[in-house]
Structure 1
Amino acid sequence: MSARWRRWLLIGGGLALALAVAAAVAAVDVFRFLHSPMEGVPDDGAIYRIEPGTPVAGIAAELAERGLIERPSYLRLTARLSGAARRLQAGEYAIEPGMTPYRLLERFESGRVKQHSLTIIEGWTFHQVVSALRDAQALTHEVSDQPPERIMESLGHGGEHPEGRFFPDTYNFPRGTTDRALLQRAYDRMARVLERAWAERQAGLPLDGPYDALILASIIERETGVPEERRRIGGVFVERLEQGMLLQTDPTVIYGLGGDYTGDITYEHLRRDTPYNTYTRAGLPPTPIAMPSEASIEAAVDPERRGELYFVSTGEGEHVFSKTLEEHERAVDKYQLDRGRGGSEE
């Protein structure tokens, strides 16, 4: 072999070795980048949203512009070589302190988007539910600005009164979920809970069907201050229904007053006849008055019956129960008349 060829071989070998060393150094640097915590993430985390159709180059560049990563080319290269670039999913993502670029890329690829939440409180009215939907900025609003009858039509239940139909719970959802979709979940959940409870109901209840149970459960929900009393309160109402007595429960009166109720119920209110005034009308009101909890539904279909016909609030959340009017009047004298009317008196 000539000296000339030996010289070229040495040069070529040197170049190959230099390239190999450079590639190894670069590989180590990429590995260190991918598996080191992102230093630009604030202590309370960050939110990043991938819009539909955004290429991985745009994502990497924007993350770098926000100071969340330092080497956008490394993220872009890794995504393309691994095939992740073709699988990145649009959505809103949470970036926690200590997260590495590798884990972030995995999150983008899996579509594990940030979950928002909305809580329907036990005892809320439909008006309060709709108000909460309107205030939820992460929802896409399709129906919450419409009248109740239109909302029910959009859910496929036109003609149904919305009160009591939506199960109180905390619902998680990704940004962009529609208010209609969330309401559908709550409606379906209530339907399942009510169906199961009605199938396991106590025999001989003076209720014509599951809707009556829902109405009674909503009254129990609004009357109960202490959870342990739910079934006992249910027992009082069931006894009164069986004996043809007026339910005489303040929450139904308040519901019937609507905007006329300002926080204090008066004897004039109790005498004002509305479809919901259970002091002037026999039986259950025409619809639920609130969103009952599962515990209140269970109390309506499996009440604790002790022969009690009355209860009065002690003013501290609990009630005193009585079997006779004489006992009840003594309880009223003790707990209410000496401080003015307060709470319900059945």
Structure 2
Amino acid sequence: MLVFNLYRSIPITETIVLDVDKGYGLNQVIDTLNKKELITRPLILKAYVRIFKSRANIKAGEYLVSKNENIFQLIRKISEGSVYYRQIRLKEGSTFNEIVTLFTNNQFIRKDNNTDNLENIKSILDLDVPSLEGQFHPDTYNYIKGTLTLIF
């Protein structure tokens, strides 16, 4: 009877993002799920996963947890590294400075301090142009938390 509780949907009302830090093992993930009240019986889950899914390799990253998922689907997602992709949108007609601001203000993108001027940026991007205006295609781009970007 207790094991069947693990197959019920996770008790949330809306989709949430779960952050699994680098170096986390199965125990830390289960403890995090317990602290967030996504599971009620962590010891049973630890024992069950150890017995039946002993090769669960935990991958760091952000994971979407939906109200229709059960805990085993979530553990599988974390083991496979099916991370959540965030989106950033470059609008048509955006100036280079607007793009710089968009990336600089994004808390989920890591900044690279090795690009301190426009000439370095042009060199890194292998662009032989007088200006960077118009060089970036307007579109929606997917990225994962911690993706490295240039600091302008």
Q: TM above 0.5, one fold? A: yes
Partner-residue secondary structure (3-state), 1:178:
strand
* C-alpha displacement of 1:158: 6.5
2:141 is matched with 171
Amino acid at match of 1:173: Y
Q: Corresponding residue for 1:116?
A: 86
1:38 aligns with 2:10: yes
Count of residue pairs brought into register by the alignment: 149
Distance in 2, Cα, partners of 1:145 & 1:96: 39
Shift in CA distance, 129/144, structure 1 to aligned 2, threshold 3 Å: farther
For residue 29 of structure 1, what is the aligned residue in structure 2?
Answer: 2
1:239-254 residue pairs with structure 2 within 5 A? none
Deviations 1:117-166 (A, max 9, x none): 11011111111111111111111111598332222233344665311111
More helix by share: 1
Aligned to 2:9, the other structure's residue is in SS state: coil
Q: In the alignment, what sits opposite 2:33?
A: 63
- Which structure has the bigger radius of gyration? 1
Deviations for 1:68-122, whole angstroms, at most 9, x for unmatched residues? 111112322233231343x221111111122210111111011111111110111
CA contact (8 A) 2:24 2:58 kept: no
* Contact map agreement 2:17 2:63 (CA 8 A) in 1: yes
Tell me: CA distance 1:78–1:157, structure 2 relative to 1, closer, same or farther (3 Å).
Answer: farther
Do the aligned partners of residues 140 and 37 (structure 1) sit closer, same or farther apart at CA in structure 2, a change above 3 Å counting?
same
For 1:76 and 1:155, the matched residues in 2 are separated by 47
Tell me the residue number matched to 1:315: none
Report the Cα distance in structure 2 between the residues aligned to 1:137 and 1:68, rounded to whole angstroms: 26
**2: CA distance, partners of 1:75 / 1:160:** 59
Q: Are the structure 2 counterparts of residues 152 and 76 from structure 1 closer, same or farther at C-alpha, using a change threshold of 3 Å? A: farther
Contact kept, 8 Å, 1:47 with 1:93, in 2: the verdict is yes
User: Which amino acid letter does the alignment assign opposite residue 18 of structure 2?
Assistant: Y
| Whole-angstrom distance in 2 between the partners of 1:158 and 1:50 | 41
2:119 counterpart of 1:149: yes
* Separation of aligned partners in 2, 1:67 and 1:58: 14
- How far, CA to CA, are the matches of 2:136 and 2:99 in structure 1? 9
Corresponding residue of 1:316 = none
What residue is the counterpart of 1:126 in the other structure?
96
Q: Secondary structure at the match of 2:78?
A: helix
Q: How does 1:1-346 map to 2 (within 5 A)?
A: 28-30=1-3, 32-39=4-11, 41=12, 43-81=13-51, 82-85=53-56, 87-142=57-112, 146-157=116-127, 161-180=131-150
Aligned equivalents of 1:145 and 1:116: distance in 2?
24
C-alpha separation between the residues in 2 aligned to 1:44 and 1:29? 25
SS at match of 1:179: strand
TM-score (ref. length: structure 2): 0.86
Whichever residue aligns with residue 2 of structure 2, its letter is D
Equivalent AA in structure 2 for residue 36 of structure 1: R
Between the aligned residues of both structures, percent identity stands at 25
- Inter-partner Cα distance in structure 1 for 2:141 and 2:10: 31
Counterpart-to-counterpart distance in 1, 2:131 and 2:24 = 44
